[in-house]
Chain A
């Protein structure tokens, strides 16, 4: 470490705790409390990256979120590495490894730097213009452009860190813990408002925390001492929550805000284990107080981007807060008073201040006079016309400005320096205000955009609201806060504030040089490498809207969103185009304010918690039996049960055969179940299903088809009449929630006169379905006292029963075409009943089957699956299910649509069966169907919706939708695949047991 760059009497850095870290592979040392940037500067390292386009050497330029240049890659581990982090925001920790980005092979020798010599050839939109032709070459261009331009490397492995989300509701949110934010938070909390104060730094206090200057005093103490006491009181207030290292990322409508809290990034690596790295706070605030302060602007002049050119206020923070000298011989260049604060701070710490170059005429504010008293040299009405030094600034060239400020006059003075502080005035941080939809107004006198109008319950106070003098900040913040919160706090009533007042203001967006304009390089956007030249070129080429200029030149489009560059770009556009800044408006600031990690956004919703899973009450049994699972909506359903290394096909063939030959058992618990009660229940069913329900006998079941108002099939299922005014409706697994919500919608909005109540009982019942020729024998073993004769308990009927004193409902219904029963029992006993059935069925080789076999078995019978064979464009007539539409009913949902001109078309796609000429050929679901093979182009007539190899028929079967399919029965068709064409014949949809004999077998 270069000892001479550290001052030793610093209060904020723990100079007793040395921390080692690596930058670009080299081991360096800093102290506890340093940022990576301050530690690098203390090691006299300014050059930290190369610019995006020209690969010019770039150095640390700021000390906070607005840093455009010191963008580094942190960490080496391929799962933990993080690109595009700002060195000015990384708190130093033991073991930190960081490296420069955007340079190859190294920051000191960068091959891309050759671009700098060609830079006249790389104007704005160079890439757009050059790599347009020929279009198919883009792939090639892109590879090289990305390689040379890349901004950091993405991690290649899953992130090992832990992230979290948390909701928070408060009365008042104060964003920013500087002098205004601290006062606002205290006023709010002391008036019994539940208050949250957040700040992105590791400590409250803002820049006042290290402001020890005669010109800024409160109640006769230095402002830093005053604020330290204020902070102490804050921590004792009980209604106040304070979160530091917490950065507000987004401000949405209805005072919904997102803030990212950094919990472990500042800790030593070994202390971070099993801790949440970052937490995203989802905040709902009744009222929001924005106190985000202002950021210093750079100045735009020739070669204003060399390493060692730093914002003047940052130089002040580095010396006053971190105790780091940015140089030994520092020059300052300014258009306002704040550079004099830096000059005085540097002077007090023993750093040589060469001079202050000020574009204004001589001015006599308190702070300027103090600087003059200390003997600091000032070049009035002057500008820096050039800087020298390739990897680090070594001198500046100064000239006098003409009276109108557009050119330079008199003799050029060369001044040697190792650092140049620049100050172009202050830009209020209005980003959050505009994110929330607030409108800005322009203040001519100091060229700032300020909050004007917001629809939300919020205010901006302090310098983000345009108050730059300490006495005004205090007076106005206190007044506005009291008024906004409708309280009358008197804590700050009689403060005595000393504050230097800036008397003269002057601004030149683009400072003149002695060189012709075209030969200068005056950077606006340091990160995206766009210059004043680029913006002027865009205007010459006809771009007028600031939004277009921004996109064409990419000014303000880098990861810093142009925090430092936007104002100058606007200024130069306005000046060149001859319009007023206020009329030009600004570009839009979008969230996040600083980049967010994906980890923080998703929180714990990774891995096991990526998506919600639902289990049936019999789930454990399927797991024990090593079933493969299928996701159906959020449900985990048993897909098939492989034995002895069977693959899916083998398992499904075995299961399907067993179910028809003897007995199969299926977990049908996922079906949606709705309990319907009320005197109008039958009428209600009449209106929601296509068929008639009034005459359904008590104890009987009926299949129903539900349509949308557009006549398209929506859902289907069996509904059972339990008693006069009591039904149990079943829906498809995936449709359950939507069906219930749709039915509630009709009851509440269209038919409020109906006396009907719907209650979901999906999870209350577990459903065990046993099917096959031996299902009756098995059921009789379980419920011996139930008469299972076809007369007493026919197909499509139900019985109440008891299994060992537990009530259950047994439905004799079938989705496989086999004789089968569904036992519905309270979920707590479903697994036990399943096991009982399984044991009872053992002698019949009862075989558990999953959803795949279920699908195969129903396809053999031509039963549809809503959502697989239908896709929201199929009417019941298209499905050849005309029989289910009641002719007598006056109305039901979707009825009128069934005879719209479009739905009565004969050539609609209709459901048909398909048989392949080669019975062993299995069609692919989704495959297209055509009528000819040698014509091109050929019309696609339809597609395969379901396809299986049927072990019971010993051939491949399929369902498909085909244009005019009903009339095409017996016709040959073709299914063209990648390597071959499959010949098929259109058939009936029922492949097995057309007479339904098996139902009563």
Chain B
């Protein structure tokens, strides 16, 4: 069980949150102009890294806000948390 520091509500138990997959995958503005392959890239292709990963999380049972987390999947250490739209504080 992680402790997640919601950027709006502060530190809360993981059970209040839901995970939303990989972060920084932008929905194409003009999907109709994409080839099947390009659309499939957006739709299906996700990284599954052992190591530092950028993820979307939602404080579903709190303020209902989405935000981003930088997490090391090998030890579950959270390196950074930042709001939607913000640039990742680390690379």
A and B directly contacting (CB within 8 A): yes
A437-B75 contact given A253-B1, A254-B2, CB 8 Å threshold:
yes
Given A253-B1, A748-B84, A896 and B31 touching (CB < 8 A)? Answer: yes
Contact in complex: B43, A710 (CB < 8 Å): yes
Are A900 and B58 also in contact (CB < 8 A) when A455-B77, A744-B64, A745-B66 are? Answer: no
CB <8 Å contact, A709 and B43: yes
Residues of A contacting B39 with CB < 8 Å? Answer: 896-897, 900
Nearest opposing residue in chain A for B68, CB measure: A749
Assess whether A750 is in contact with B66, with CB atoms less than 8 Å apart. Answer: no
**CB-defined interface of B34-71 with A at 8 Å, one 1/0 digit per residue?**
10100110010000000000001010100011100000
Q: Across the interface, name the chain A residue whose C-beta is closest to B13.
A: A284
* A890 part of interface (Cβ distance < 8 Å): yes
**Chain B, residue nearest A752 (CB):** B85
- Per-position binary interface string of chain A over residues 743-770, scored 1 when its CB falls under 8 Å from any chain B CB and 0 otherwise: 0110011101000000000000000000
Number of A-B contacts (CB under 8 A): 54
Nearest CB on A from B9, distance (A): 15
A901 to B37, alpha carbons, bound, how many Å? 10
Interface check A891, CB cutoff 8 A: yes
Docked CA distance A896–B35 (Å): 10
User: In the complex, how many residues of chain A place their beta carbon closer than 8 angstroms to a beta carbon of chain B?
Assistant: 23
Inter-subunit contact B58/A745 (CB<8 Å): yes
Task: Check if A256 sits within 8 Å of B75, measured CB to CB.
Answer: no
Q: Would B32 and A895 count as touching, CB distance under 8 A?
A: yes
Of A252, A437, A455, A750, which is within 8 A of B1 by CB?
A252
Within 8 A of B (CB), among A238-273: 252-254, 256
A403 to chain B, nearest CB (A): 48
Chain A's closest residue to B78 (CB) is A254
In the assembled complex, the CB of B34 is this many whole angstroms from the nearest CB of chain A, namely 7
Q: Answer whether residue B76 sits at the interface, using C-beta atoms and an 8 A cutoff.
A: yes
Residues of chain B within 8 A of A253, CB atoms compared: 1-2, 75-76
Residues of B within 8 A of A750 (CB): 26-27
The answer to the question of B19 belonging to the interface, with a C-beta cut-off of 8 Å to chain A, is no
Tell me, rounded to whole Å, the shortest Cβ–Cβ distance linking B19 to chain A: 12
Determine whether the beta carbon of A741 is less than 8 Å from that of B58.
yes
- Interface check B7, CB cutoff 8 A: no
User: Chain B contacts of A896 at CB under 8 A?
Assistant: 31-32, 34, 39
The 8 Å CB contact of A455, one of B3, B34, B75, is: B75
Q: Which residue of B lies closest to A751 (CB)?
A: B27
Complexed CA–CA distance, A744 and B59 (Å): 12
Instruction: Pick from A710, A741, A749: contact of B84, CB below 8 A.
Output: A749
Q: Known interface pairs A455-B75, A748-B65, A752-B85. Does A254 touch B3 (Cβ–Cβ under 8 Å)? A: yes
Chain A residues near B75 (CB-CB < 8 A): 253, 437, 455
Given contacts A745-B58, A748-B65, A895-B31, contact A284 B3 (CB under 8 A): yes
Task: Indicate the member of B27, B60, B75 with the most A CB atoms within 10 Å.
Answer: B27
- Contact partner, B31, options A252, A741, A891, Cβ 8 Å: A891
- Distance in Å from the Cβ of A761 to the closest Cβ of chain B? 15
Residues of chain B with a CB closer than 8 A to A748's CB: 65-66, 84
User: Which residue on B lies nearest to A895, using beta carbons?
Assistant: B31
CB distance from B39 to the nearest CB of A (A): 5
Contact residues in A for B60 (Cβ distance below 8 Å): 741
Residues of A within 8 A of B1 (CB): 252-254, 256
Within the assembled complex, what's the spacing in Å between the Cα atoms of A657 and B32?
48
Which residues in window 408-445 of A have CB below 8 A to B? 437
Instruction: Give the chain A neighbours of B77 by CB distance below 8 A.
Output: 455
Of B31, B32, B56, which is in contact with the most chain A CB atoms at under 10 Å from its CB?
Answer: B31
Asked if A901 and B58 make an inter-chain contact with CB atoms under 8 angstroms apart, the answer reads no
Would you call B2 and A891 a contact (CB within 8 A)?
Answer: no
Nearest CB on A from B84, distance (A): 5
- The answer for the CA separation of A455 and B43 in the assembled complex, in Å, is 36
Number of chain B interface residues as a range: 20 to 34
A874 to chain B, nearest CB (A): 17
* A677-719 CB contacts (< 8 Å) to partner B: 709-710
Q: Which residue of A lies closest to B39 (CB)?
A: A896
A749 touches B66 (CB 8 A): yes
Chain A residues whose C-beta falls within 8 Å of the C-beta of B66 in the assembled complex: 744-745, 748-749
Give B83's nearest chain A residue, CB to CB.
A748
Query: For residue A895, which residues in chain B have a CB less than 8 angstroms away from its CB?
Result: 31-32
Please tell me which one of the listed residues B32, B64, B76 contacts residue A891 in the complex, with CB atoms under 8 A apart. Answer: B32
Contacts of B26 in A (CB 8 A): 750
State A890–B29 Cα separation when bound (angstroms): 10
Q: How far is the CB of B69 from chain A (nearest CB, A)?
A: 13
Given the complex of chains A and B, what is the CA–CA distance between A744 and B63 in angstroms? 11
Give A326-365 interface residues, CB cut-off 8 Å to B. Answer: none
Do the beta carbons of A897 and B58 come within 8 Å of each other?
no
Q: How far is the CB of B57 from chain A (nearest CB, A)?
A: 11
Expressed in whole angstroms, the Cα–Cα distance for A81 and B36 within the complex equals 62
**Contact call A900/B32, Cβ cutoff below 8 A:** no
Bound state CA distance, A65 and B63, in angstroms? 44
B2 surroundings in chain A (CB, below 8 A): 253-254
Contacting residues, chain A, for B30 (C-beta < 8 A):
891
Chain B contacts for A254, CB-based, 8 A: 1-3, 76
B-chain residues with CB within 8 Å of residue A709 when the two chains form the complex:
27, 43
Contacts of A752 in B (CB 8 A): 84-85
Do A890 and B3 touch (CB < 8 A)?
no
Q: Is the CB of A890 within 8 A of B58?
A: no
| A 469-494 to B, binary, CB cutoff 8 A, 1 in contact else 0 | 00000000000000000000000000
Residues of B within 8 A of A897 (CB): 39, 43
CA distance A741 to B60 in the complex (A): 8
CB neighbours of A745 from chain B (8 A): 20, 58, 66
Enumerate chain A residues within 8 angstroms of B20, measured Cβ to Cβ.
745
Distance of A900 Cα from B58 Cα, bound (Å): 30
**A900:B36 contact, CB within 8 angstroms:** yes
Chain B residues with CB under 8 Å of A900's CB are 36, 39-40
A745–B13 Cα distance when bound, in Å, is 21
- For B66, the closest partner residue in chain A by CB is A748
From B1, B30, B34, B40, residue with most partner A Cβ within 10 Å:
B1
**Contact code string A10-38 (vs B, CB < 8 Å = 1, else 0):** 00000000000000000000000000000
Q: For residue A890, which residues in chain B have a CB less than 8 angstroms away from its CB?
A: 32
Chain A residues in 8 Å Cβ range of B27: 709, 750
Interface string of A527-538 (1 = CB under 8 A from B): 000000000000
A253 to B1, CA, bound (A): 7
CB distance from A509 to the nearest CB of B (A): 33
Chain A positions 924-969 with a Cβ under 8 Å from a chain B Cβ = none
Q: Which chain B residue has the least Cβ–Cβ distance from A890?
A: B32
| Cα distance A900–B36 in the bound complex, in angstroms | 6
Complex Cα distance, B64 from A68, in Å, reads: 50
The distance in angstroms between the C-alpha atoms of A752 and B27, with both chains bound, is 13
Q: How far is the CB of A113 from chain B (nearest CB, A)?
A: 47
Which residue of chain B is the closest to A258 with respect to CB atoms? Answer: B1
State in angstroms the CA–CA spacing of A599 and B76 once bound together.
Answer: 29
Distance, CA A709 to CA B13, complexed state (A): 31
A residues less than 8 Å from B76 (CB atoms)? 253-254
- Closest A residue to B2 using CB positions: A254
For the complex formed, measure the closest distance between the CB of B32 and the CB atoms of chain A, giving whole angstroms.
Answer: 6
* List of B residues within 8 angstroms of A891 by Cβ: 30-32
Q: Which of B43, B65, B75 has the most CB of A within 10 A?
A: B43
Shortest CB distance A186–B (Å): 27
CB distance from B62 to the nearest CB of A (A): 13
Give the residues from 843 to 894 in chain A that come closer than 8 angstroms, CB to CB, to chain B.
890-891
User: Can you spell out 11 A-B residue pairs with CB atoms less than 8 angstroms apart?
Assistant: A253-B75, A254-B3, A284-B3, A741-B58, A744-B64, A745-B66, A748-B66, A749-B56, A752-B84, A895-B32, A900-B39
Chain B residues close to A by CB (< 8 Å): 1-3, 13, 18, 20, 26-27, 30-32, 34, 36, 39-40, 43, 56, 58, 60, 64-66, 75-77, 84-85
Please report A residues at the B interface, Cβ cutoff 8 Å: 252-254, 256, 284, 437, 455, 709-710, 741, 744-745, 748-750, 752, 890-891, 895-897, 900-901
Given contacts A253-B2, A741-B18, A896-B34, 5 further A-B contacts (CB under 8 A): A254-B3, A891-B30, A895-B31, A896-B32, A901-B36
3 shortest A-B CB distances, which residue pairs?
A896-B31, A256-B1, A254-B3
